[in-house]
Amino acid sequence: MIRVNKGFLDYVTTLKNADKHSAITEQEAGVGKKIVTEKTTVFSVYVVKEGLAKCYLTEDTGNDFIQEFFGAGEVFGELEMFTQDFSFCTIEALTPIKYYKIPKKVFLALIENDAKFNSLVLRLMASKIRYTALRHSYHQSHALEVNLKRLLKEFPDLLQKISKKDIANYLGVTLRSLNRAIKILG
């Protein structure tokens, strides 16, 4: 749901601070700003420093499918450095956001020369695979009500932080269905 990765954020912060002229820069974006756009070439890897973003795909049906919500330390754009593909999702700020930007060349050099960095990236990608698999499996085999209850247990202030439409898109249902489920849960 809302993913974070303190360890990686700390490491990148250290890297940046170690060099006054670091190629790693800090950037900001306002609500609604798309930091990465679907089907577009990606030139950098990004790390959320603070704030919240959503990672989603828009289908040909017009539906948005929210992959994940990214909080502090979450990384995006890294896949495209390895697969040479266009971005497969859009990253959009849900709150004002601060993030680090690591140019492609710098990122790939770190992968090659900094074993610790390389290892953190491997771990982070492994986590994404695991987490996503567990989530989709759970979603598919449980009723909407159960899924919602589970989310609310982990993030009690969910409905305050994230719009219902976004929650519905994350759960893969319509807003109408989500409203029904909310009503039933009381």
Partner DNA sequence: CATTGTAAAGGACAAATGTCCACAACTTTA
Partner DNA sequence: TAAAGTTGTGGACATTTGTCCTTTACAATG
**Binding-site ranges for DNA (CB under 7 A):** 143-145, 163-165, 172-177, 179-183
User: What one-character DSSP code corresponds to residue 124?
Assistant: H
Are 168 and 64 spatial neighbours (Cβ–Cβ below 8 Å)? Answer: no
- Alpha-carbon Rg of the chain, whole angstroms? 17
The option from a second copy, DNA, none interacting with 25 (CB < 5 to 8 A, set by class) reads: none
Report in angstroms how near the CB of residue 76 gets to DNA at its nearest.
26
* Residue of 125, 37, 115 lying closest to 83 (CA atoms): 125
Strand-pair partners of 56:
66, 90
Convert residues 11-50 into a mask of x (bound to a second copy by CB under 8 A) and - (unbound). ----------------------------------------
With respect to a second copy, which residue has the nearer C-beta, 18 or 143? 143
User: Can you tell me the distance from the alpha carbon of 142 to that of 133, in angstroms, rounded to the nearest whole number?
Assistant: 14
- Judged by CB under 8 A, the stretch of 16-24, 55-63, 97-105, 155-163 that binds a second copy is 55-63
Give the angle 100-101-104 at the CA atoms, nearest 5°. Answer: 145
The option from DNA, a second copy, none interacting with 144 (CB < 5 to 8 A, set by class) reads: DNA
Structure tokens at 180: 């029904």
Residue ranges in contact with a second copy by CB under 8 A: 57, 59, 61, 63, 65, 67, 78-83, 85, 88-89, 111-112, 115, 118-119, 121-123, 125-130, 132-134, 136-138, 140-142, 172
